[in-house]
């Protein structure tokens, strides 16, 4: 038993030494609606979260939508305490995969939408780890593992219409993905059908 633990520790140390010390993080959120594409640097969200003032295109967008920057600042900073091991296990279950599949239609890497599920899983787990057990929207954005995070605006608006309240939103993410699982469809097979 001691020899096995020693070998496992040695293997873990070698594996960790091979991991790059810098992880690529999101630099921009790209809003996509048909042929329309517009980027917002993550730094603008960071400035908004720390000062309550929205600079650049983010500020223009909030003014155009008649949104209060201080409310978005509060939302960006709101933290939820989550244990990394539990969240990691949950995101790797069939239900977790189904929920991630639903979200990956809205948020995904710009250059590889098919990697949306793994990018979301990574951003959540890294965001919690970097937030010392807490996850905020800003922490999620900063932990997103690709340079650009695409947001499918029509899909986001559809979700917003369906989710007029928190209870509607919870129902959308808990019941709908389970319907596909009950019928034997897996989220990844549906994702493959969408991309073909």
The pLDDT tens digits along the chain (196 residues) read: 444 334 333 333 333 333 333 446 789 999 999 999 999 999 999 999 999 999 999 999 999 989 999 999 999 999 999 999 999 999 999 989 998 999 999 999 999 999 999 999 999 999 999 999 999 999 999 999 999 999 999 998 888 777 665 556 566 555 554 454 444 444 444 444 444 3
Cα distances (Å, whole numbers) of residue 79 to 17, 67, 194 = 31, 21, 33
Q: Is residue 8 part of a domain?
A: no
Tokens 């897996």 sit on residue: 186
Instruction: Find the domain containing 93 and state its range.
Output: 23-33+79-195
Q: Is residue 58 part of a domain?
A: no
Q: Is residue 132 part of a domain?
A: yes
Yes or no: say if 180 and 65 are a contact pair by the CB < 8 Å rule.
no
- Global pTM exceeds 0.85: no
Tokens 């069939």 sit on residue: 94
Q: Is residue 143 part of a domain?
A: yes
């Amino acid at each position: 038993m001691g020899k096995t633990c020693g070998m496992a520790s040695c293997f873990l140390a070698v594996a960790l030494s091979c991991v790059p010390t810098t992880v690529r993080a999101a630099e921009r959120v790209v809003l996509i609606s048909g042929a329309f594409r517009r980027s917002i640097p993550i730094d603008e969200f960071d400035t908004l979260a720390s000062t309550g003032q929205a600079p650049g295109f983010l500020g223009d967008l909030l003014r155009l939508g008649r949104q209060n920057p201080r409310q978005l600042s509060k939302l960006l900073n709101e933290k939820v305490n989550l244990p990394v091991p539990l969240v990691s296990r949950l995101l790797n279950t069939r239900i977790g995969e189904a929920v991630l599949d639903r979200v990956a239609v809205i948020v995904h890497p710009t250059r590889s939408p098919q990697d949306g599920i793994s990018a979301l899983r990574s951003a959540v787990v890294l965001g919690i780890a970097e937030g010392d057990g807490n996850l905020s929207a800003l922490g999620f954005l900063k932990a997103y593992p690709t340079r650009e995070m695409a947001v499918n605006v029509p899909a986001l608006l559809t979700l917003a219409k369906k989710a007029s309240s928190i209870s509607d939103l919870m129902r959308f993410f808990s019941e709908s993905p389970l319907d596909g699982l009950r019928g034997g469809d897996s989220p990844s097979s549906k994702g493959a059908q969408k991309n073909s």
